[in-house]
Amino acid sequence: MKVLVIGQGGREHAIACQLAQSPSVSKIFVAPGNAGMGSIAELVPIKENQMTDLLNFAQENKVDLTIVGPEVPLTDGIVDHFQQAGLRVYGPTKAAAMIEGSKSFAKHLMKKYDIPTAEYEVFDNKEGALAYVAERKTPIVIKADGLAAGKGVVVAQTSQEANDAIEAMMGEGKFGIAGHQVVIEEYLQGEELSLMAFVDGHVVVPMVPAQDHKPVYDGNQGPNTGGMGAYSPVPQFNRQRVNEAVENILKPTAEALVQEGRPFTGILYAGLMMTPQGPKVIEFNARFGDPETQVVLPRLETDLMEIINASLDHRLDDIKVNWSDDAVVTVILASEGYPGSYPKGRKIHGIDEDHHEEGIRIFHAGTAQTEDGLVTSGGRVLAVTAKVQSIAAARQMSYEAVQKIHFEGMHYRQDIGAKAIGRL
């Protein structure tokens, strides 16, 4: 099969690497891709939001399957676009992708179907939001309703921080149209867990869990990012607690979307808070997480292509999905200034993947190839990933590999996975 992967980040690099292992895949295209993917895929210079150009490319090159990585084309309806042209495409329709595209939609859906989540209110005017915060205890959570690249969430420790967040979103337009409406939620106590699943309508096949690290600095300090690192498995939570999340959250949500006439096919991601009262939803995504994909897919032993084909053919429940017992840790190397504005074009030193020891994989996220060599081109630049028998060993391997890499202004968290081995 010829496969087209849409996207350009570390998630898409990990997806392409997994597809490259499938005996049924003869050719991989990635649009637009990045400098790290050239060894396994042909890069196509079409941006993720250029729907018509992507469709024309898939038709002209007789692509058998298109896999959509990022959220923006999904919420823009690229799957519907491809389906209407008779092309095989993996991902939710625009209607189903609303589970990520609108936090207020997701919250109303959970309330209607009794899916555990934080108490909330939705506001489309600044004055109402400010008045609500004045009546509530802190900490409190302020969320831009629409897509904000993982950065539209503020956990406000004080009323002033909450007011500042509302002003930035609704007054200053920090996130554009995504912040015209805000969701204000109670703060949930507990530990976070990322749980993804392959979904086809009623059928939900969970993946192994992971834990992401959203804040930019060690100890979960600083503003939220798209994710500064992740690890899998998550030994703090036993199988029974993870199964509770599958049965009480993932399966009812898939069923709710069917009942609403928005059946979901693709990857449903639940960002969870594991509270003393049980798992509760922080957010839903309608695609593979980033950087969770970089630690979950390396543990997948079943052919990813086989799973996707089974899902599209409505026989997902016939597939047995197997996972490695190994642990995977990924550390994100970020550009100076990220998650705010950042420079591009900084020379990257120390990457020579042919000389890395077995078990290390570097997924490129924001890189470009120039006449001067490999340079930075994004906020999150590289995901340095190690797979070995334990989290402690994987952490050590990953951080040792990080020490060999350098670019001006490079920063990263030094506590990825520390909680899993009792260091936090």
β-partners of residue 363 are 383
Q: Look over the chain and give the mean of its residue pLDDT values, rounded to a whole number.
A: 95
What residue spans define the domains of the chain?
2-93, 125-180, 191-318, 327-421
Helix orientation angle between 304-312 and 10-20, rounded to the nearest 10 degrees: 100
- Residue corresponding to tokens 């976070």: 192
Condensed to tens digits (0 to 9), the pLDDT of residues 324-350 reads 999 999 999 999 999 999 999 999 999
Condensed to tens digits (0 to 9), the pLDDT of residues 37-83 reads 999 999 999 999 999 999 999 999 999 999 999 999 999 999 999 99
What Rg, from alpha-carbon coordinates, does the chain have? 20
Angstrom CA distances, 261 to 96, 173, 258, 413, stand at 9, 33, 5, 42
The rounded Cα 98 to chain-centroid distance in angstroms is: 16
Does residue 408 contact residue 336 with C-beta atoms inside 8 Å?
A: yes
How many other β-carbons are positioned within 10 Å of the β-carbon of residue 52? 9
Q: Is residue 302's pLDDT more than 80?
A: yes
263 token code pair: 């059946």
Tell me yes or no: is domain 191-318 CATH 3.40.190.150: no
Q: Is residue 424's pLDDT more than 80?
A: no
Q: Confidence band (pLDDT; 50, 70, 90) for 356?
A: low
Residue 161 confidence (pLDDT): 94
350 token code pair: 């120390």
For residues 375-399, give the mean pLDDT.
97
Does residue 183 contact residue 102 with C-beta atoms inside 8 Å?
A: no
Residue 224 confidence (pLDDT): 86
- pLDDT > 90: percent of the chain: 92
409 token code pair: 């202004």
Residue 347 confidence (pLDDT): 97
Residue 355 confidence (pLDDT): 46
> Per CATH, which fold does 2-93 belong to?
Rossmann fold (3.40.50)
347 token code pair: 């020379």
For residues 242-254, give the mean pLDDT.
98
Taking the domain 125-180, which CATH number applies?
3.30.1490.20
Residue 423 confidence (pLDDT): 59
Residue 377 confidence (pLDDT): 97
> Per CATH, which fold does 327-421 belong to?
Glycinamide Ribonucleotide Synthetase; Chain A, domain 4 (3.90.600)
Residue 325 confidence (pLDDT): 97
